[in-house]
Amino acid sequence: MNMLLPNDVFGLVKTNIDAHTLGISTVSNLLRQCGYKTVISNKIISNAVENIRRLNNFGILKKWIYENEITNIGFSFRLDPQSGKEYFLEIFYQLKNNNMFTKDGGKINSIFFAGLPETCNLIKQSLKEIIVCFPGDESPHDCLTLLGVPLEKVTDELLSGNNYDKERINFAKNIIDNGEYIKTFPKNQSNYSNYGLKTDSVIERIINANKNNTLPLIRSHVGPYNDNRIDAINQFVDWTEQLAKSGFLDILSIGTSQLSQSNFNEDWHDMPNGGGVPINNPHEFDMIWKAARPMLVRTYAGTKNVQQLASIYEKHLFNAWHALSFWWFCELDGRGENKLLENLKQHFETVEYIASISKPLEANVPHHFSFRGGDDVTYILSVYLTAKLAKIKGIKYFIVQNMLNTPKHTWGIQDLAKSRVILKLIKNLENNNFKVYFQTRAGLDYFSPDYEKAKVQLAAVTALMDDIEPYNENNPEIVHVVNYSEAINLADPVIINESIKITLFSLEQYRKLRKTNKIEDMTHNNEVNIRYMELLEETTDAINFLEKNISNLYTPEGFFKIFYDGYLNVPFLIDNECIYSNATKHQTQIINGSVKTVDDLGNIYSTTKRFENIYENSKI
């Protein structure tokens, strides 16, 4: 790729069928930090490229390119490789045949693709032209170099790393190179009377494991893809039976399809599935629960009729816990059709339902802000607000989901500080009627498409999880194991079990090293503690400000207002209609491995000052 010019503009495009936006947001963030303008496709453009041969659709894309003065265009597709290749080739040849490239007199200097490694290979095999492809294993430096960004525009923060992260990688590499992890056996969690029955619960399993020193419980997200719906269901049932028999997995998290979440028990006709297990009636949940014995089972919340679907999960899956996304899985991210306020109302009603049946609630929230450029305070604040709401509504058990490595260039010391502040603030809410449990996981786009590198990363992030509370061997209570094949393929039972073995063995070995003083005691790490105090003070001030100045904060209207007014910062939200321009107007930047809000000159913009300005402007 040729070296970029200062006025180059990047257009980043995806299809509507692919719900993945994190990679686009990451690339957009990197380019913006280097001073380049980026434009992300809206729903109209995404629909046009999904059906580029349809009459007028190329004209829609062409108009978008010219109106935004786009000089470099990238296409992202993280689903089926053959489909990804076909989508990209259609776009490429439409641009070429219409003389849109600069060598033919057009505006486009370069075109590039980001997707699965297999898709990248198929595209390279199909085209004689040199196409830059991103299979997902790139460092910030690699990514920017491939895009043609001059080195002098790349900030030191994007090039340098952190010693703590390097030490964890060295630890993890020894684990994988040694190979002893493969001999790991599953933990026995079965010594209580309700084990595996309809009356079993994640709380009882945690309490039992705590007594027997067999924490953490292990959760994994599972879901094969198959074009044939019935074959997909049958394969998933078979996988479920294999996982139940192996005994490594405590909580089976069903990776349902987008249609299962948005159009359950409806006639799907020819609607695109978008990946995942296409479950579409309660009977299929019955089959899965039976196949899963003695595992606990849980699944995604719906994107409409949220409470009704939650009650179906209870009746047919005995759902281990419910996970609600509040601001997300609606119009904001294209995962559902609900408008934001309606989505919040349905979620609040569902919280009351969950409280009435004494089931745990997980806030599937903070990482969705990070996916869209949210700063570290927004990450912490969003999960705290949902935790306090849960307590107010009578939830007895609250599961804190904490996604590490998000964005994937975050430093480990920053993750430790964020995690400790979350635990400090939310555990302060605990009393006899409200108990908090901690669940950690690796980042969604953290893993390399190289399996051996990904295994090392899995072991390294396991060490990071254990350093959150270094001397508490019963924390985290739940580890959501993201399988090492995440960047390439959906994990089958063999990969899932191997991923769990890596996690359990790494945890055991890391704790042995700590006890013999062979690793740094991160309890007293100065960088972590300084950042912890900064985040604790800034987030506490933010909470106090909102509770003082936003009437009815813990209501759907209150949650809507703080998003609409811009208190929760999401600069990379795809909002081409500018409905939520207050939420997207303040940029963020990765600074020493943390994510901070900055002003137009790139100076750090404190949360307190930003909130005061928002409040004053809202009164005008």
Q: Which residue has the higher pLDDT, 17 or 204?
A: 204
**Mean pLDDT of the 352-375 span:** 96
Q: Rounded to whole angstroms, what are the CA distances from 64 to 60, 200, 358, 576, 593?
A: 6, 54, 50, 12, 34
Burial of 21 per CB tally in 10 Å (0-12, 13-18, 19+): buried
- Of 384-393, 468-477, 611-620, minimum mean pLDDT range: 611-620
Phi-psi category of residue 373: left, alpha or beta, with phi > 0 → left and psi -120 to 50 → alpha: left
Q: Which residue has the higher pLDDT, 108 or 131?
A: 108
Residue 1 pLDDT greater than 60, yes or no: no
Residues 6+ positions from 302 with CB-CB distance below 8 Å: 261, 262, 264, 308, 309, 310
∠ Cα 464 470 474 (to 5°): 100
- Mutual angle of helices 451-466 and 493-515, in 10-degree steps: 50
Residues 6+ positions from 609 with CB-CB distance below 8 Å: none
pLDDT at res. 526:
96
What stretches of 428-555 show up as alpha helix (H) in DSSP?
Answer: 451-466, 493-515, 526-549
196: CATH: 3.20.20.440
Mind listing the pLDDT tens digit for each residue in 416-438? 999 999 999 999 999 999 999 99
* Inside any domain, residue 390: yes
**What does the block give as tokens for 93?**
């040849």
**Residue 429: CA count within 13 A, CB half-sphere:** 25
* Inside any domain, residue 546: yes
User: Which of 158, 191, 221 corresponds to the end of one domain?
Assistant: 158
Q: Which residue has the higher pLDDT, 157 or 576?
A: 576
CA distance 78 to 47: 16
Burial of 130 per CB tally in 10 Å (0-12, 13-18, 19+): exposed
Q: Rounded to whole angstroms, what are the CA distances from 594 to 139, 194, 408, 419, 448?
A: 16, 44, 11, 13, 21
Q: Residue 340 CB: number of other CB atoms within 10 A?
A: 20
275 and 369 in a single domain? The answer is yes
215 and 276 in a single domain? The answer is yes
* Inside any domain, residue 333: yes
Burial of 390 per CB tally in 10 Å (0-12, 13-18, 19+): buried
User: Which of 492, 521, 550 corresponds to the end of one domain?
Assistant: 521
User: Which of 454, 488, 521 corresponds to the end of one domain?
Assistant: 521
8 Å CB contact between 340 and 300 = no
8 Å CB contact between 351 and 599 = no
DSSP state of 99: T
Would you place residue 404 in the very low, low, confident or very high pLDDT band (cuts 50, 70, 90)? very high
Query: What secondary structure does DSSP assign to 146-164, as a single string?
Result: HTT--GGGS-HHHH---HH
Would you place residue 174 in the very low, low, confident or very high pLDDT band (cuts 50, 70, 90)? very high
Which residues make beta-bridge pairs with 536?
none
Tell me which H or E stretch contains 381.
Answer: helix 376-392
**Mean pLDDT of the 532-543 span:** 98
pLDDT at res. 599:
87
* Location of structure tokens 């109302």: 345
* Inside any domain, residue 1: no
pLDDT at res. 15:
79
8 Å CB contact between 60 and 21 = no
pLDDT at res. 155:
65
561 and 480 in a single domain? The answer is no
CA distance 271 to 260: 11
Amino acid at 310: A
Amino acid at 30: L
Find the domain containing 558 and state its range.
Answer: 527-618
pLDDT at res. 422:
98
Mind listing the pLDDT tens digit for each residue in 445-474? 899 989 999 999 999 999 999 999 999 989
**What does the block give as tokens for 52?**
């580029």
Residue 161 pLDDT greater than 70, yes or no: no
8 Å CB contact between 286 and 237 = no
pLDDT at res. 355:
98
73: CATH: 3.40.50.280
* Inside any domain, residue 540: yes
Residue 548's nearest CA partner among 608, 617, 598, 605 is 608
483 and 421 in a single domain? The answer is yes
452 and 562 in a single domain? The answer is no
* Location of structure tokens 């992030």: 461
Mind listing the pLDDT tens digit for each residue in 265-312? 999 988 877 678 999 999 999 999 999 999 999 999 999 999 999 999
556 and 601 in a single domain? The answer is yes
**Mean pLDDT of the 101-126 span:** 90
384 and 251 in a single domain? The answer is yes
Q: Residue 150 CB: number of other CB atoms within 10 A?
A: 13
339 and 201 in a single domain? The answer is yes
Which sign does the torsion angle of CA 461, 467, 468, 474 carry?
A: positive
Burial of 128 per CB tally in 10 Å (0-12, 13-18, 19+): exposed
Residues 6+ positions from 368 with CB-CB distance below 8 Å: 325, 327, 328, 333
Mind listing the pLDDT tens digit for each residue in 474-523? 999 999 999 999 888 889 999 999 999 999 999 999 999 999 999 999 99
238 and 123 in a single domain? The answer is no
* Inside any domain, residue 2: no
8 Å CB contact between 217 and 479 = yes
173 and 132 in a single domain? The answer is no
Residue 601 pLDDT greater than 90, yes or no: no
202 and 71 in a single domain? The answer is no
Domain count, the chain: 3
pLDDT at res. 521:
92
**What does the block give as tokens for 560?**
């809507």
310 and 348 in a single domain? The answer is yes
**Mean pLDDT of the 407-417 span:** 93
8 Å CB contact between 613 and 606 = no
What mean pLDDT is reported for the chain? Answer: 92
Q: Rounded to whole angstroms, what are the CA distances from 612 to 106, 373, 546, 559?
A: 47, 21, 10, 18
β-strands 397-403, 588-591: how paired? unpaired
Q: Which residue has the higher pLDDT, 573 or 602?
A: 573
Amino acid at 118: E
* Inside any domain, residue 180: yes
* Inside any domain, residue 3: no
